[in-house]
Amino acid sequence: MVEAITADEFSAADGVADWRVLESGQAGTVFRTGSFNKGVDFVVRIGALADAADHHPDVDLRYPMVTVRLSTHEVDGLTERDVALAREISVAAAELGVEADPGRL
């Protein structure tokens, strides 16, 4: 069984500084890719991470950025699964040289 966490618990977790908890109860951020091709590469990485975790975010690719939103449908909110995937996505972004800009949400 998956248990919900609070917005404060999500925000206090290590490795999620790129992310913000939204009024919708989701966690989200915008990654500035700088090019459409890099955005596509990043979305492919997110897809692989999501499939490996069996936890799938909402992803929106638009030049020159990728917006990602996370939540766990079973609890209609956030869980540790969202924390873990947010961390992995942020690591993938850093590896690709993609910067987060959560203020753009």
Domain count, the chain: 1
How far is residue 53's CA from residue 81's CA, in Å, rounded to a whole number?
8
User: Is 61 within a domain?
Assistant: yes
User: Is 23 within a domain?
Assistant: yes
Residue 62: CATH number of its domain:
3.30.1360.20
Phi-psi region of 55 (alpha: psi -120 to 50; beta: other; left: phi over 0): beta
User: Is 43 within a domain?
Assistant: yes
pLDDT, tens digit, 9 for 90 and up, residues 57-76: 999 999 999 999 999 999 99
User: Is 11 within a domain?
Assistant: yes
User: Once rounded to an integer, what is the mean pLDDT over residues 23-35?
Assistant: 97
Whether the predicted pLDDT of 1 surpasses 90: no
Nearest to residue 77, comparing CAs of 31, 30, 21, 29? 21
User: Is 1 within a domain?
Assistant: no
pLDDT, tens digit, 9 for 90 and up, residues 11-27: 999 999 999 999 999 99
User: Is 2 within a domain?
Assistant: no
Q: Is 1 or 81 the better-scoring residue by pLDDT? A: 81
How far is residue 13's CA from residue 50's CA, in Å, rounded to a whole number?
19
Q: What is the pTM of this model?
A: 0.96
